[in-house]
Structure 1
């Protein structure tokens, strides 16, 4: 009986760990939507930053970061000011 309980606990722990990994690595936009970078307000992003500086929804620190995204209906992103379907690094200031 003890072996059955132990096996059940181990199986449950492994299933929980696998589900956590699957949800943590699933950073795709939902069906019918696309990732739109550069238009999200601080704290309102849908998932991790393109530069992996954070892995959380709501982790954006600044408005309009080209590394943060939100899911928008397909075809909408490129109609938005600063909207990009790919991450955009901040421009480097070359003036001294």
Structure 2
């Protein structure tokens, strides 16, 4: 899953790729961070994937970030984090 417009979020890579467990290949995580049961399985539906993404957007996992800068700002400088997010929204709306 990839966002087509810029998004500044701890769990979204700068290229827009979403990083959440249920989209990772089914297997044990070589780093021991995720169990196989948290990763992709055939029981996932578009609804479960979208619910997971919505949850991720509102509650980022800053312990395993795809965007390190966004995770740092999420933890240390909420005001700057929100400023960057608003700037992305304005850009996507063609306001900048």
User: What's the TM-score bracket when you normalise by the shorter of the two chains?
Assistant: under 0.3
Q: Which has the higher helix share?
A: 2
Q: Which has the higher strand share?
A: 1
Does 1 or 2 have the higher relative contact order (CA < 8 Å, sep 6+)? 2
